[in-house]
Amino acid sequence: MKRSREQAASELFAALYPRLAGWCRRLVDDDETAHEIASEAFTRLWSRWTSVAEPRGFLYVTAANLVRDHWRRLERERRAVHRAGTEAAVRPHTEPSDPSVRLLVQSLPERLRVPILLHYYADMPVREVSALTGRKEGTVKADLHAARELLRAHLRRSLDHTL
């Protein structure tokens, strides 16, 4: 039994790790961090191996949550550096909005962010996103639409500030 469990885990790792790590790489823009996140997702899967019905979905949802945590950590660090820089050199705060799509996706509420990450960044069809998130396909489609509208509005505002 243990041998077959280890064999199954090894085969799953070989089949899914490269794509999961590549997906994480596109989200965090750093190879080392991407591999850490993908490895951590597999570690968490391994600890719940017998209770996870859909390992691929578990991996992507776990990785999406780890990416979110990474983005939050970076944002806290960015704010701390900005505060330190502002205190060192007193100048008016005229920082333009960053129209980076990744930062905008990061700012979405979780119910909109996870479907965007799974559908557009992991290339999962709506049906699969629906199964992984436990939401009806129509709800996933509505969430994707709402997320695109929010992103579009944020991009417009960002572009208006740069003109």
Length of the chain: 163
d(CA 45, CA 56): 9
**Is the pLDDT reported for residue 3 higher than 90?**
no
Inter-residue contact 15 to 6 (CB < 8 Å): no
Is the separation of the CB atoms in 20 and 55 below 8 Å? no
Q: Give dist(CA 160, CA 163) in Å, integer.
A: 5
**pTM, entire model:** 0.62
Whether the per-residue pLDDT at 20 is higher than 50: the answer is yes
Q: Are 130 and 136 in contact (CB under 8 A)?
A: yes
Residue range 36-60: average pLDDT?
Answer: 91
Percent of the chain with pLDDT over 70: 85
